[in-house]
Amino acid sequence: MLEEFPRAYKRLQQKGRLDPVLIFLEASERALVRRFSETRRPHPLAPDRSAIEGIREEKKAMQKVRRMADHIIDTTEMTVHELRQTFTGVAAGNAPGGQLVVTILSFGFKHGIPVDSDLLFDVRFLPNPHFVPRLRPHTGRDADVVKYINKSEATAEFLTHTGNLLQFLIPQYVREGKAYLTIGIGCTGGRHRSVAIAEALRKALSGLQGVRVRVRHRDIAHE
């Protein structure tokens, strides 16, 4: 198939009656290995070897097709819904990658620093709801927890200064052509302060042009 595909695609382009678009999907090796692990399927090129060996062999074999592509899409951080939106956009004549996807990632330092963070903010200086018995079972999405954190003047100052910094930085990344930006917001356990601050920053950044903001709470389920 790989040997015949380039010739077949060129013939299709020359027909004149169609306007084919070639979209090439790729992802990081780590993401691909994780996907094979989750599906519990061996790589077709490495049925008796590790998935990473098959992935690297496939990557080399696909280089010619990749060079022919009209659009190359990195799906490493995409959900299936985001991928569908990308295909819909291409069908409508929009080039993929026109938006910077900003992920605000809350986490707990006790569970490890997320290695994929481009920017990292430590909010452990804010008052900790964990030490308030009635608030401990809740999370930073709960109104009472947010109210407790917002009582501190430091919370408003942090959101103001950090919001201003990000509103300056993000357009620079957009102009540079960056596709993904991950902003890590960390507290001790990743359930209260970091969650509340991540949600507040999402609201502060929601109006930026050429940017799609999303929030992930990595450690919110930890006790």
Q: What is the pLDDT of residues 182-202, one digit of tens each?
A: 999 999 999 999 999 999 999
Percent of the chain whose predicted confidence (pLDDT) is above 70:
96
Amino acid (one-letter) located at 44: P
Q: Looking at residues 141-151, what average pLDDT do you find?
A: 97
**pTM of the complete model:** 0.63
Query: Among 40-49, 170-179, 183-192, whose mean pLDDT is lowest?
Result: 170-179
Q: Which of 105, 77, 114, 78 is nearest to 217 (CA)?
A: 105
Q: Which two tokens stand for residue 186?
A: 């960390």
CA distance linking residue 201 with residue 157, whole number of Å: 13
- Do residues 70 and 22 touch, judged by C-beta distance below 8 A? yes
- The pLDDT of residue 217 is 95
Q: What angle do CA 31, 63, 20 make, to 5 degrees?
A: 95
Q: Is the pLDDT of residue 63 over 70?
A: yes
- Average pLDDT, rounded, for the chain: 90
- Do residues 212 and 98 touch, judged by C-beta distance below 8 A? no
Query: Which uninterrupted H or E stretch holds 28?
Result: none
Q: Tell me: the pLDDT tens digits for 97-135?
A: 557 889 999 999 999 999 889 999 999 999 999 999 999
CA distance linking residue 57 with residue 45, whole number of Å: 7
Half-sphere exposure of 163 (CA within 13 A, CB side): 18
Residue where the block lists tokens 């957009």: 174
CA distance linking residue 64 with residue 69, whole number of Å: 9
